[in-house]
Amino acid sequence: MDVESERVRIIGIAGTPGTGKSSVAEALARKLGWKVVSVNDLAEEAGAIIGYDEERGCHVVDVEKLRRHGKEKKLENVIVEGHLAHYLDVDVLVVLRCKPTVLEERLKKKRWSPEKIRENVEAEILDIITQEAYNLRGWKRAYEIDTTNKNPEEVAEIVFRLIEGKREEGDYELGSVSWEEEFEALTLAQSHRVDEVGNKK
Ligand SMILES: Nc1ncnc2c1ncn2[C@@H]1O[C@H](COP(=O)(O)OP(=O)(O)OP(=O)(O)O)[C@@H](O)[C@H]1O
Ligand SMILES: [Mg+2]
């Protein structure tokens, strides 16, 4: 087996805004002595920003142009982080996840508008990034980590171990995180609130 072809040169960190991509990338970069490159900066450099999505509060990016630019740069010992990181050809992709109610709190702390928060919490509930990542398959290896009860250093440590191949079969598999139960509990609570209001009439 060609060992050289298995060398990890680029790690991609994707995830809904607020899942901790930048914090984890910094912690991991310190651990590996690597550089962090933000996908937004790459997109800007590539001239791939084609607009602004007011609702989601993010740039609209020509992802094919972004991917081509990333490839041409022949990045090495680099962590690329951003919510479009899964569009780049990376050796290892990590999708960060966060329980929707906790994500909402993290985004409130960023002082985002209620619309922007709702849009992104919904995207997290619907596993949007995971599904896109799964369909794109530009990665050689892909994992998914629930960051809800972990600090960025702990998440970086998990990524480090995954890169070294230290995991049990099925651990941190892409698609292993689901908020279905959380979501059901949430909608149930909301329908109760509607009932209470209704009863007061
Ligand atoms: N594992 C974690 N546990 C608790 N809080 C975290 C964790 N990771 C990040 N945070 C906090 O959540 C907020 C969002 O983190 P961060 O900015 O790293 O996310 P991001 O995914 O890079 O977001 P964006 O897409 O907006 O750049 C920050 O306030 C950070 O301190
Ligand atoms: Mg960030």
CA distance 142 to 134: 9
CATH number, domain at 63?
A: 3.40.50.300
Digit-coded pLDDT (tens) for 32-74: 999 999 999 999 999 999 999 887 778 899 999 999 999 999 9
Is residue 1 included in any domain, yes or no? no
Instruction: Check whether 201 has a pLDDT greater than 60.
Output: no
In a domain, 65, yes or no: yes
The percent helix, strand, coil of the chain (3-state, each to 5) is: 50, 20, 35
In a domain, residue 162? The reply is yes
Quote the pLDDT of residue 117. Answer: 93
- CA-CA distance, 34 to 8, in Å (whole number)? 12
**CA–CA separation, 31 vs 25, rounded Å?**
10
pLDDT in tens, 149-170: 999 999 999 999 999 888 877 7
Q: What is the pLDDT of residues 84-113, one digit of tens each?
A: 999 999 999 999 999 999 999 999 999 999
Measured in Å, residue 22 CA sits from the centre of ligand 2 at 4
Domain that holds residue 69: 7-200
In a domain, 170, yes or no: yes
Mutate to test the pocket of ligand 1, among 102, 106, 111, 117 (most ligand atoms within 8 A of CB): 106
Determine, yes or no, domain membership for 93: yes
Confidence class for position 199, pLDDT limits 50, 70, 90: low
- The count of structural domains within the chain is 1
| Residue 2, domain member (yes or no) | no
CA of 48 to the centre of ligand 2 (A): 19
Residue 112 belongs to some domain of the structure: yes
pLDDT digits (tens, 9 = 90+) for 112-139: 999 999 999 999 999 999 999 999 988 9
Write down the pLDDT at residue 152. Answer: 97
Is 178 inside a domain boundary?
A: yes
